[in-house]
């Protein structure tokens, strides 16, 4: 008995693999392409763990998928593999189409072939869990109710459109072929091991380096923030007891404007790693031109997963953000290793176009 995790060297995937092996004896085969966001360093704690095997490869490689499935015979597949950064999708959407749509298609087809050949008992217990995002639902106004699982898809970026397409494929493979699927749509994750192109690690790294803290537009774009450890526990619950063919929204019950998040980070750094000159890190905040099609607000209604599976987030934002900033302060060498020259070039490309607002 083992599971196959795709994209398990990325931010959420690596956290999930580590969390899984802390809570289960069941081995993990971890398939990751190791793009810029897939990082061996994130799995360093598993270096001597015989129950973890990292396979470098692409979910679009059907021959590799067939080999892994036939050799290891997993009882479940958890699909984290995705391109996930909105800004990158604006600059280069083709990678998102290839991975999120075509890659998901190839993975589903390999999974279907494998599942159909399983003995009846194993066929009945097999699961394919697809991890997705709240961004597929589009944008909310301040007075709108939070997203439920029945909200129509209204994606507004190449990233969210590609993830919406992948969600539709997963649904179709269940209804057409009977593939035993589960889908989760999560809100904005934060926590250890997040690549520093996303808001919280980017602001933390820039603050410590004495660089500007770039805030898009007026800083009032609202997100529902979910601690990555809570997301991992929710996925474990869905995998264990989720109803086949169903979607479960996973959220942190924590809506915050971006500017408030940045203020919290600055205040924590003021306390935990003060500037040499004694000034607040808030002085480094810089408002820049907004990105195209920037969704105003996301909010997740996570009552279904609580009602059906008994899950609620354990972390408050106050406890989660303190843990997160502490982790980055204690793991500066990890940040240095992942922020390569290619990363710095990307940051320059993205933000050089956005002069101060």
- Which residues carry out catalysis? 134-135, 159
Q: If phi over 0 gives left and psi between -120 and 50 gives alpha, with beta otherwise, what is residue 27?
A: beta
Q: What is the DSSP string of 300-348?
A: B--HHHHHHH-------HHHHHHHHHHHHHHTHHHHHHHS-HHHHHHHH
Cα distance between residue 221 and residue 108, in whole Å? 35
Compute the half-sphere exposure of residue 330: CA atoms within 13 Å on the CB side of its CA. Answer: 8
Cα distance between residue 293 and residue 139, in whole Å? 10
Coil, helix or strand at residue 95? helix
Cα distance between residue 35 and residue 38, in whole Å? 5
Q: What is the largest CA-CA distance in the chain?
A: 68
What 8-state DSSP symbol labels residue 220? -
């Amino acid at each position: 008995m083992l599971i196959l995790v795709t994209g398990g060297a990325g931010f959420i995937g690596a956290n999930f693999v580590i969390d899984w092996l802390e809570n289960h004896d069941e081995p993990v085969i971890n398939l990751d392409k190791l793009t810029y966001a897939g990082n061996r360093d994130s799995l360093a704690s598993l270096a001597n763990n015989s129950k973890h095997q990292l396979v470098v490869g692409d979910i679009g490689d059907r021959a590799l998928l067939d080999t892994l499935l036939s050799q290891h015979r997993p009882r479940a597949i958890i699909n984290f593999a995705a391109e996930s950064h909105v800004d990158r999708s604006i600059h280069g959407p083709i990678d998102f189409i290839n991975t999120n749509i075509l890659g998901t298609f190839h993975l589903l087809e390999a999974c279907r072939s494998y599942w159909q050949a399983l003995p009846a008992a194993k066929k009945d217990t097999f699961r394919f869990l697809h991890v997705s995002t709240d961004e597929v639902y589009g944008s909310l106004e301040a007075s709108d109710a939070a997203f439920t699982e029945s909200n129509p898809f209204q994606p507004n970026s190449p990233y969210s459109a590609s993830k919406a397409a992948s969600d539709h494929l997963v649904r179709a493979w269940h209804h057409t072929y009977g593939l035993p699927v589960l889908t989760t749509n999560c809100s904005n994750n934060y926590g250890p091991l997040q690549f520093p192109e996303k808001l919280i690690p980017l602001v933390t790294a820039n603050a410590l380096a004495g660089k500007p803290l770039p805030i898009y537009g007026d800083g009032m774009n609202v997100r529902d923030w979910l601690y990555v450890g809570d997301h991992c526990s929710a996925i474990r619950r869905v995998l264990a007891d989720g109803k086949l063919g169903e979607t479960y929204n996973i959220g942190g019950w924590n809506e915050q404007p971006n500017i408030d998040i940045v203020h919290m980070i600055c205040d924590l750094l003021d306390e935990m790693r003060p500037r040499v000159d004694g000034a607040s890190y808030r002085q480094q905040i810089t408002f820049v031109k907004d990105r195209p099609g920037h969704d105003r607000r996301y909010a997740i209604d996570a009552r279904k997963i609580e009602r059906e599976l008994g899950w609620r987030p354990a972390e408050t934002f106050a406890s989660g953000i303190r843990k997160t900033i502490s982790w980055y302060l204690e793991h500066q060498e990890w940040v240095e290793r992942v922020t390569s020259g290619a990363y710095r070039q990307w940051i320059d490309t993205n933000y050089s176009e956005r002069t101060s607002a």
